[in-house]
Amino acid sequence: MARVWDAVNDPMIGSLPDRFTLGKSGDKFKPWVRVFIIPLAVSGLLCFANVSGFPDLFKHIWVSAVYIFYGMAYTGTSMPYGAMASVITDDPIERTKLSRARAFGGMGVGLLYIPIVNLVIWDKQGNPNSSGYFLMAIVSGLASIVFYSLMLKLSKERIHQDKKYAKDAKTSYSFFRVVKEVFTNRAMVGLMVATIGALFGASQSMSSYVYKEFYHDPRAMAWGAIIGLPAMLLSFFLVPKLAKKLGSRKLILFASIYTIVLYTVLYVVVIPNVYAFMMIKGIQDW
């Protein structure tokens, strides 16, 4: 049910900055991020609240409702944040730099934070630590408030809309027209298919299952994340140069073939040693 609602929720919330401008600043995206900061932190806490003593029916209702709440709050912050580059500058090169900076920040989280999470939520015997989950939810919620607040304080929207509401413009907003245009835009369709494929591939890697159930060492995920990060850091600087030399299309094709081959090895070949698996997985990240 939550996944079905996501299909409605994402375009609905994503359209809000295009339809309405909050406040008097004239900013398009920052006010919407500000609205959803606290709900995002609160929803994360609710997701990991201890409801083990509740009746089964209420637990199912709680999990469904809270997860939907979290999904809406996450969409409310991530969508306007992801689109902010378009109103910070109209220079394509500068927008590319902003996109790379965002990716670099994500790598920083992967390097400094994710390994800590894995060490806190699992004990040395590989059993889940329930109090560790809620502790990390608190830390993550507070961190999200701090860093989103810094982003709002330190960034500036330089490109403003002339109209407060999209309906005042010559072409009024229509949700169904937008949906129709999405599926008739070949570039957009290709991007959606690629994104779905990437998400499906990421989910099918099942790293958490492999480390926990096959190797019986879930804390090893922390080291697995660290091994792949140097490659991600190198690619941050190398990929733009390779794209310029080879062309984006060829680079994407080569990277896709490389990934398919190594994922096939990981899927077909049984690797008994967790550290050997980690190394191959790290090579795949390269």
CB-based burial label for 132 (10 Å; 0-12, 13-18, 19+): middle
Percent of the chain whose predicted confidence (pLDDT) is above 90: 8
Predicted local confidence at residue 249, as pLDDT: 78
pLDDT band at residue 198 using 50, 70 and 90 as cut-offs:
low
Token digits of residue 137? 């939810």
Mean pLDDT of the 154-158 span: 86
Top mean pLDDT of 131-135, 188-192, 195-199, 276-280 is at: 131-135
Predicted local confidence at residue 166, as pLDDT: 45
Model confidence pTM above 0.75: no
User: If residue 132 lies in a helix (H) or strand (E), which one and from where to where?
Assistant: helix 130-154
Q: What is the largest CA-CA distance in the chain?
A: 64
Q: Where are the alpha helices (DSSP H) in 155-219?
A: 175-184, 186-205, 207-209
Cα–chain-centroid distance for residue 235? 19
Predicted local confidence at residue 97, as pLDDT: 74
Cβ neighbours around 140 below 10 Å, total: 18
Instruction: Name which residue leads in pLDDT, 48 or 23.
Output: 48
Instruction: Name which residue leads in pLDDT, 233 or 8.
Output: 8
